[in-house]
Amino acid sequence: MPFLTESMLHEMKVNDGSAVPLVTRLAKQDKVPWYEKPNLRRLYFVLFPTCLGVEMTSGFDSSMMNGLQAVGTWNNFYNHPRSTMLGLMSALYSLGAVAALPFTPTISDRLGRRRSIVFGSVFMLIGAILQTASQNFAMFVISRFVLGFGIPFAIVAASSLVNELSHPKERAIISSLFNSCWSIGAIVAAGVTLGTFAMQTNWGWRIPSVLQTIPSILQIVFMYFLPESPRWLVSKGRSAEALAILTKYHAEGDVHSEFVKAEFAEIEKTLELEMEVAKRSWLEMVATSGMRRRVLVASFLGLATQWSGNGLTSYFLAQILNNVGITDNRTKNLINLGQTAWSFVNSTLIALTMPRFKRRVSYMICTISLLSIFTGWTIASARYAMTGDKVSSTAVIVFIFLYSPAYNIGYNALSYTFLVELFPYHVRSKGLTVFQWWGRVATFFNQFVNPIGIANAGWKYYISYCVFLLFEVIFVYFLFPETANRSLEELAFLYEGDQMQQEQEKRVEHEIKELRGERPPQTASDSEKDAEEFA
């Protein structure tokens, strides 16, 4: 990679005065693919069981709860739960997550990303063991609460760590695969319940619960091999360790890499500038117009990722199929397995392609497609309810399968990528927690209300989803910013205006020159002087 010349350093502005992404430009000059870099390849492989695999737990849980409703021994053991009782059994998972969220940013920011993932995984492991050993309804719902309590710690830290460790060239694609792993867990659960639904003993439903421990065990065991976030290390004054990690994985150990020098300088100086204006409290999230806009978008995404109809197929597919004349348990489990396998295939392909496109365009395609598909789904369900038409029943199944890729285009492939890009480092855990809070509250509401709505209103209940999907289209069009093709530091002051971005560029340029030995190190008095000038 070429050395940074004076002309490159001063090429921070284009004709319209906007910032040119220096680190992104240098990253694109690197033409060697990741799989030909041993250290980076090893990092990405370890990210799978430790971070990307976190979502396997959520996927397994959703699909397992779907499948258990078609397992005879589970229904008999819990007296055929329906409506309110079924909603409670599913919703306690989300209630546990809501209870954990006030503590999530503190654990992630103080203990580090790695320890936060392990912390959450231990809770999920305990919850899965309790679920396996459940002797009554109360024990089962308590286990669901414990499982849910652990998941936010792992998800918030893992989604941050994936983005903060990945090379800028592959960051968007790697982080987009985070949600795709949801389908891996879902496929395993669907396959297991298909294999155990006919068992005449309680192991027909206890075996899936035993297997829910596997993702958490993988996270705990393999975390030893995963480095900590360089950004977290810099924030804790451990810059030498952060630089060593960046050098090892982003430059294959080349201590003279100009790309790593630029990347490290950008991280260090951006965090320095963030900390100067940070208020270090939750009030910071609403203190400025830029932060309020971020919180608004994150809150919307939390609601939209759960109120777009996906909760119906994730937890109550068996009830939906009942309403269109499909009552055979084996057929239900086959459809559940087929739908989850199809979701994994299309979500993986979409995750590998959609990050290359503009974020707003992708979200517009997603929301418009979902509105169209769910409207067709509602019409087909209404027609079946009125006429008993077999074609309408088949159409509902077709729409369920079409729904998956439409949802995955935006809400699956891009949500965590987009959110990490949206929030600066010092409020990133809080921003993801805001997203999780709205998402978990929406999920709790849906899981409790969906079975009641399906049982009492049938197809008419789907109209509420159509209305909300129309709102989503309008919201994305008017309020979503564009964040594609920038590094995390280049997006740190997305809403803060040119003055902050110019100060960031000035400090990064100064730091790069120091790393190249062209300028003497900045003294404490120099830093104070710069801060006074900026203020």
- Integer Cα distance of 432 and 161 in angstroms: 12
| Model confidence at 8: pLDDT above 50 | no
- Integer Cα distance of 309 and 442 in angstroms: 11
Span 352-392, pLDDT tens digits: 888 888 999 999 999 999 999 999 988 988 888 888 888 88
- Residue 126 banded pLDDT, cuts 50, 70, 90: very high
| Model confidence at 136: pLDDT above 50 | yes
Across 119-123, 167-171, 189-193, 375-379, the highest mean pLDDT is recorded for 119-123
Chain CA centroid to CA 456, Å: 33
- Integer Cα distance of 143 and 131 in angstroms: 5
pLDDT, position 335:
84
Please spell the DSSP secondary structure of 212-274, one letter per residue.
TTHHHHHHHHHGGGSPPPHHHHHHTT-HHHHHHHHHHHHSTT-TT-HHHHHHHHHHHHHHHHH
At 7, give phi and psi (nearest 5°).
Answer: -65, -35
Pick the more confident residue, 46 or 381. 46
pLDDT, position 205:
85
Lowest mean pLDDT among 2-11, 69-78, 85-94, 340-349: 2-11
Q: Where are the domains of the chain?
A: 29-226, 229-279, 285-512
What average pLDDT does this structure show over 485-514?
75
| Model confidence at 15: pLDDT above 60 | no
Please spell the DSSP secondary structure of 38-95, one letter per residue.
HHHHHHHHHHIIIIITHHHHHHHHHHHHHHHTT-HHHHHHTT---HHHHHHHHHHHHH
Contact call for residues 252 and 499 (beta carbons, < 8 A): no
At 127, give phi and psi (nearest 5°).
Answer: -60, -40
Span 400-436, pLDDT tens digits: 899 999 999 999 889 889 999 999 888 898 999 999 9
| Whether the predicted model's global pTM rises above the 0.75 cut | yes
Domain 285-512 class, CATH top level:
mainly alpha
- Integer Cα distance of 249 and 237 in angstroms: 20
Span 231-282, pLDDT tens digits: 999 999 999 999 999 999 999 999 888 889 888 988 888 888 887 766 667 7
Domain 29-226 class, CATH top level:
mainly alpha
Task: Reduce the DSSP state of residue 31 to 3 states and report it.
Answer: coil
CA angle in degrees (0–180, nearest 5) for 445-448-452 = 120
- Residue 517 banded pLDDT, cuts 50, 70, 90: low
N-term to C-term CA, the chain:
37
pLDDT, position 280:
64
Same fold, 29-226 and 285-512: yes
- Cα–Cα distance list, 227 to 38, 39, 68, 248 (Å): 15, 12, 38, 10
Chain CA centroid to CA 420, Å: 9
- Integer Cα distance of 417 and 177 in angstroms: 10
pLDDT, position 177:
87
Pick the more confident residue, 354 or 84. 354
Q: Side chain identity at 444, as an amino acid letter?
A: F
Span 289-333, pLDDT tens digits: 888 999 999 999 999 998 888 877 766 677 778 777 888 878 887
- Integer Cα distance of 306 and 411 in angstroms: 9
- Residue 509 banded pLDDT, cuts 50, 70, 90: confident
Q: What is the DSSP letter of 20?
A: P
| Model confidence at 14: pLDDT above 70 | no
Lowest mean pLDDT among 18-27, 212-221, 297-306, 394-403: 18-27
Q: Which residues of 250-261 are buried (b: 16+ CB within 10 A; e: fewer)?
A: bbeeeeebbbbb
Chain CA centroid to CA 242, Å: 24
